[in-house]
Every structure is written in structure tokens, then in C-alpha cells.
Amino acid sequence: MADLPGRDAAILVADDDALVRTVLRMALVAEGHEVVEAAGVAQIAALEPGIRLHLAIVDIHMPDGTVHDSLDALAARTPAPRVLLLSGDDRAAPEIASRAAGLARKPIELDELRRRVTALLREGLDPPRTTGASHG
């Protein structure tokens, strides 16, 4: 899988609100990232499989499917991107929250967006942490 050229990371912004997508795209591009947009679940599923997405920022509520449909489409990618879910509520059902790397409340402040994206991308690059404790 090829990374998108010339950028720090390829990030999907998926939201049915064009204004939200535009604001998030502008903030992420200003940070040096390549942004791919999707306006719904069908567009997430139809994304070119050859583009490696490092992170997906996904609205929990889209009109053409469920958040599980979005997460399933992203999980089917190789490699699967980390996912930051956006919601008007700062809570998500445990079965949803467990499938994502994070959850942020909409509208998200751009400084918080930058912090969250930086942290999630860094975590995605770090090797898994191990401890000396044995599990048994």
C-alpha cells in the first residue's frame, strides 16, 4: 500500500456535513496532512483501497448507514487506520467506543483536533509497549 505522496499522514474526514468536512480538512492540511473526504458510509466503503489511510475521523451519525458500517468498512482496509469518532454527545456505547482509538465531541475545537490527531498518529507509529509482568 502506498502512502499519499508529499504529506505527513493521510487522514480520512467522514461527515455528512460539508462545512464540518471543509473546516477539518483546512485545519489538517495546514498541519501538512493529506485529507480524503467522505460524505457518508457508502463513500467510506468505496474509497480507493490502494490509498493507505493513517487515521480516520468519522462522524458517528451519518444518514446512509450506522457507525458500525463505517467502522466495518475501515476495519476491512489493509492496514486498517486508527479511528477518531466525532459525536454531538461525548459518550458512545461501549461496543462502539471499543472499536475506535478515541471519541471527541462535536464541534471539536481546532486546537483539540490538532492535539488528538498528533497523539493518535504518534501512538500508531510507536511499537507496542510491553511490561516485565507476566500474565498467567
* For the chain, domain boundaries: 10-108
Tell me the Ramachandran region of residue 117: left when phi exceeds 0, alpha when psi lies from -120 to 50, beta otherwise.
alpha
Question: Are the C-beta atoms of 9 and 54 separated by less than 8 Å?
Answer: yes
pLDDT at 2 (0 to 100): 46
Q: What is the CATH number of domain 10-108?
A: 3.40.50.2300
What share of the chain in percent tops pLDDT 70? 85
Given phi > 0 = left and psi -120 to 50 = alpha, else beta, which region is 95?
alpha
Between 9 and 28, whose confidence is greater?
A: 28
List of residues 6+ apart from 56 with CB closer than 8 A: 11, 12, 14, 44, 74, 81, 82, 83, 84
Q: Give per-residue pLDDT as tens, 73-92.
A: 999 999 999 999 999 876 77
Reference 71, options 26, 101, 113; nearest CA is 101
Is 25 a residue whose pLDDT tops 70?
yes
**pLDDT value for 34:** 95
pLDDT (average), residues 96-119:
93
What is the per-residue pLDDT for 92? Answer: 72
